Chain A
Amino acid sequence: MAFWRTNERAITVVSVLAGSLVLWELGARISHVPQFLLPAPSVVIADLFKAPGLYAINSLATLRVTLTGFGLAVLLGVLLAVAIVHSRIMEHSLYTLLVALNSLPKVALAPLFVIWLGTGSPSKTTVAVTIAIFPIVIDTALGLRSIEPDVMNMAKVMRASRWQILRRIRFPHALPAMFAGMKVAISLALVGTIVGEFVAGGDLRHCAGLRLHHTARCARYSSILYNRFSRAAADALAPFAAAARHSR
Chain B
Amino acid sequence: MTVGFVSLSHVGKTYASPRGDVVALADINLEIEPGEFISVLGPSGCGKSTLLKCIGGLETATTGDIRIGGSPLAGPPRDLGMVFQTDLLLDWLTIVENIMITAHFKRLNPVIIRKKALELLALFGLDGFENRHPWELSGGMRQRAAICRALVDDPKLLLMDEPFGALDAMTRDDLNMEMQRIWMRSPKTVVFVTHSIPEAVFLSDRVVVMARNPGRIENDYRIDLPRPRSLAVRGAAEYSRYLTEIRDEFARLGVLKAE
Contacts and interface: CB of A to CB of B under 8 A. Distances in A.
A153 B84 contact: yes
Q: Which of A148, A151, A154, A173 has the most CB of B within 10 A?
A: A154
A161 to B, nearest CB: 8
B56 interface: yes
Contact of B88 (A151, A156, A164, A168): A151
B166 to A, nearest CB: 12
B82 A157 contact: yes
Interface stretch (B101-109, B126-134, B177-185): B101-109
B29 to A, nearest CB: 24
Contact of B84 (A154, A158, A169): A154
Interface residues of A, number: 16
B92 A154 contact: no
Interface in A213-247: none
Given A159-B76, A168-B101, A169-B90, A153 B106 contact: no
B81 interface: yes
Given A156-B76, A158-B105, A150 B88 contact: yes
B176 interface: no
B253 interface: no
Contacts of B80: 157
B53 interface: yes
Interface string A130-149: 00000000000000000010
A157 B101 CA distance: 12
A151 B146 CA distance: 12
Given A148-B86, A153-B82, A157-B80, 13 more contacts: A150-B88, A151-B88, A151-B90, A153-B53, A153-B58, A153-B84, A154-B88, A157-B82, A158-B102, A158-B105, A158-B106, A159-B76, A169-B90
Which secondary structure dominates where chain B touches chain A? loop
Contacts of A150: 84-86, 88
Interface of B: 53, 56-58, 75-76, 78, 80-82, 84-86, 88, 90, 92, 101-102, 104-106
Interface in A155-196: 155-160, 164, 168-169, 172-173
A142 B182 CA distance: 40
Contacts of B106: 158-159
Contact of A154 (B57, B75, B78, B82): B82
Contacts of A168: 101, 104-105
Max count, chain A CB within 10 A of own CB: residue among B76, B84, B92, B105: B105
Contact of A172 (B75, B90, B102): B90
Contacts of B82: 153-154, 157
Contact of A160 (B53, B57, B81, B105): B105
B92 A172 contact: yes
A76 to B, nearest CB: 25
Contacts of B86: 148, 150
